[in-house]
Amino acid sequence: MRKHKAVLFFLSLSFFWSSIQAQEQITLDQVIALALERNYDIQLAKNTSESAATNDRYSIGVLTPQINAVGSSVWNNNDQKVEFENTAINRSGTAESNVLSGSVQLVWTLFDGTKMFATRERLAVLASQGELNVKEQMVSSIASVINNYYSVVRQKQQLIAIRELMSITEERVKLAEKKLQVGTGSKPELLQAKVDLNANKTLLTQQETLLIQLKELLNGLVGLQLPIPFDVSDSILINLDFKQEEVSANIEKKNFALQSSLRDINVAELSLRERRGERLPLINFNASYNYTSADFTQVVNINNPVKSTSDGYNYGLSLSFPILNGFNITRNIHQAKITSSRSKLLFDQLKQQTDINVRNAYVNYDNAKKVLLLEEENILLAKENVVIALESFKLGVVTFIELRTAQQSLADGYNRLINARYLAKVAETELLRLSGALLR
């Protein structure tokens, strides 16, 4: 019995052999932090959000007057011929002048059917939607990082399991050689053990390659900021206490995609207000200051002034009222109504799909949790079975076929256990993503 416990301890110890490797170990929190800073999808979402926030920041401009300054200087050089009834004063020749003018013009919209207020409110909603879209992208990127990180952990555990199984096969080869030497074994036993050992080595090489490739994919999610080489943790931590009601309750207020879709409805309604405002009168306050100076350096008509200057200001109100413009306003209003109706349908569709996704994700999570608990128990049984088979094989009680069957059961048990751990984590991550909890 002590031998059995010693072998079990050796198997458990070898399963976590890589924790002492020289590679720098990167935690999940470190990878998430790098992803939030370096992930291209998040940076693009932030860029789009910043654009919407900039529009909102300067939306006060729709309420302020428009002021423009205009200036010009014109030089004239014209051939002229001036004829009068008194032919004695007729003249002809070149007339030259320089006209300098400038003005400051103000147009202030006092009423436009409240369109300006709807525009400003719409820009504010778009800015808040931009922030929600960034959060939604962050949640999606974090979920992707978690799944990819634990995919690496999963394959690392698979690699450790292959090494453990290979050590058992090496032990089988040694035992088969000894038994053959003392005449209690057979050549087929030794050959089969060596074939299985070579198969394990092939699996080991393939698994090492897969692990390297998955690490590169993980590194790509954070802008290649991870050290080369790097290691990950040995375990997959899973929360086994989720309740479906906790996730699905108030999902509209927790899911960032649904909140963004609600903003689409608000934007469509505000756009409709803008279009309806176009039916109402437009009242502007207009004012300007004008200055003109004309210098006639050479004149032909003796009655023309040599220099003239004028300046002054004017102001007033202007009103315009749309009567008929090819039904463009009516068409725009109808299009805005269609867009508003469509945005509500899209929200209802997204809400329904999100509810379905939550229920399916919880079913996956609940099933994975049940399978995980079973496989955790099975792996202990399979390990003990291999230990007993090894000891019995040494004593000649069991055949190499029975030992190989026990070893294969252990390999299958590791595959199912590691897969169950990963699937349970993926299901947990999906529940957290749908509820927006990955960012809280």
Please determine, looking at this structure, whether the domain spanning 2-38+112-281+327-439 carries the CATH number 1.20.1600.10: yes
Q: E strand or H helix at 38, and its extent?
A: helix 28-38
Write down the pLDDT at residue 276. 92
Q: How many CA atoms lie within 13 A of 6 on its CB side?
A: 5
The CA distance from 144 to 155, in Å, is: 16
Distance of CA 170 to the CA centre of its chain: 48
Tokens of 351: 């809400």
Q: Give the CATH class of 65-111+283-320.
A: mainly beta
pLDDT in tens, 120-173: 999 999 999 999 999 999 999 899 999 999 999 999 998 988 898 888 888 878
Decide whether 2-38+112-281+327-439 matches 65-111+283-320 in CATH topology.
Answer: no
Question: Cβ(232)–Cβ(183) under 8 Å?
Answer: no
Give the sign of the dihedral formed by CA 147, CA 234, CA 220, CA 127. positive
Write down the pLDDT at residue 3. 43
Ranges in the chain, pLDDT < 50: 1-21
Every domain of the chain and the residues it spans? 2-38+112-281+327-439, 65-111+283-320
pLDDT in tens, 44-82: 998 999 999 998 898 898 889 999 999 988 887 777 777
Say whether 135 sits in a helix, a strand or coil: helix
Question: Cβ(77)–Cβ(297) under 8 Å?
Answer: no
